[in-house]
Amino acid sequence: MASNKHEPASDSKLIQIVDAALLLAAEKSGAWLACKPGCSQCCVGVFAINQLDALRLRDGLDELASRDPDRAEQVRRRAAESWLRLSGEFPGDPLTDALDEDAEAFESYANDEPCPVLDPVTGTCDLYAARPMTCRVFGPPVRSEDGLGVCELCYHGATPEEIASCEMTPDPDDLESRLVEDLERRGGAAGKTIVAFALTR
C-alpha cells in the first residue's frame, strides 16, 4: 500500500516556487495588497483542494501535534464539527470525500462555513506553513479563464494597468498537476475534496 506521506522534496520545490511568486507579487503591489494576519474574509466558505493539498495539511497537523498538542486538538475538533455540519449535503461521494465534477452543485455549498484551520480568536491560520495552494495565491492578481482576478479587499484605487503589472504567475511549469497525478498513480486518494474532510480522515 502507498504511503500517506507526500514526497517532501517535490512538494517543497512547488511551495518554494509559489511562495517566491507571491513574494514578488507582494513587492510589486505594495500597499495595494491589503492581506495581513487577522484578515480572514477568504477563510470563510469552503473551496476545493487537491489530494496533494490534503496530504500536506495532514502532515502539517501531525507536525503541529508534536509541537503544540492542544492547538492541534482544537484544529481536529473544529474539523470534526465542520464535517458533521457539512457531510449531509456534501456534493460528492460521502465514502471517499471526493467532490463531484459538477461545479454548479458546489457553487452554493457551505459559503458561510469557516475553515476549520482558522483560529476563531486570532483570525490566523493554524496550519499556515501547510496551507493549500489556493490560500497561497489568494490576494494578488492571478489569471484564470475568467481573466485577472484579485481579492475584493485589495488594489483599491489601482488602474487595470497597475493591477496587471502586479500579476502573479504561481506555477509556470504546472509542477502541481504532475505531483498530483503522481500521487494518485501511486495509490493515493483521487479527486478533489475540502479542508474539513481532508483533516477528518
Q: What is the pLDDT of residue 3?
A: 41
**Whether the predicted pLDDT of 5 surpasses 70:** no
Tens of pLDDT, residue by residue over 107-149, are 888 889 999 999 999 999 999 999 999 999 998 999 877 788 8
In the chain, the number of structural domains is: 1
Higher pLDDT, 18 or 190: 18
Q: 195: buried, middle or exposed (CB in 10 Å: 19+, 13-18, 0-12)?
A: buried
Which range marks the domain in which residue 95 is found?
8-198
2 occurs within a structural domain:
no
3 occurs within a structural domain:
no
1 occurs within a structural domain:
no
Backbone φ and ψ for 106, nearest 5 degrees, come out as: -80, -20
> Among the listed ranges 30-34, 82-86, 98-102, which one has the minimum average pLDDT value?
98-102
Angle at which helices 69-86 and 51-67 cross, to 10°: 140
28 occurs within a structural domain:
yes
Tell me the one-letter amino acid at 16: Q
Give percent above pLDDT 70 in the chain. 94
41 occurs within a structural domain:
yes
**Residue 143, SS3?**
strand
Tens of pLDDT, residue by residue over 43-90, are 999 999 999 999 999 999 999 999 999 999 999 999 999 999 998 888
pTM score: 0.88
97 occurs within a structural domain:
yes
98 occurs within a structural domain:
yes
Higher pLDDT, 10 or 129: 129
118 occurs within a structural domain:
yes
Q: What is the pLDDT of residue 9?
A: 53
Q: What is the pLDDT of residue 95?
A: 78
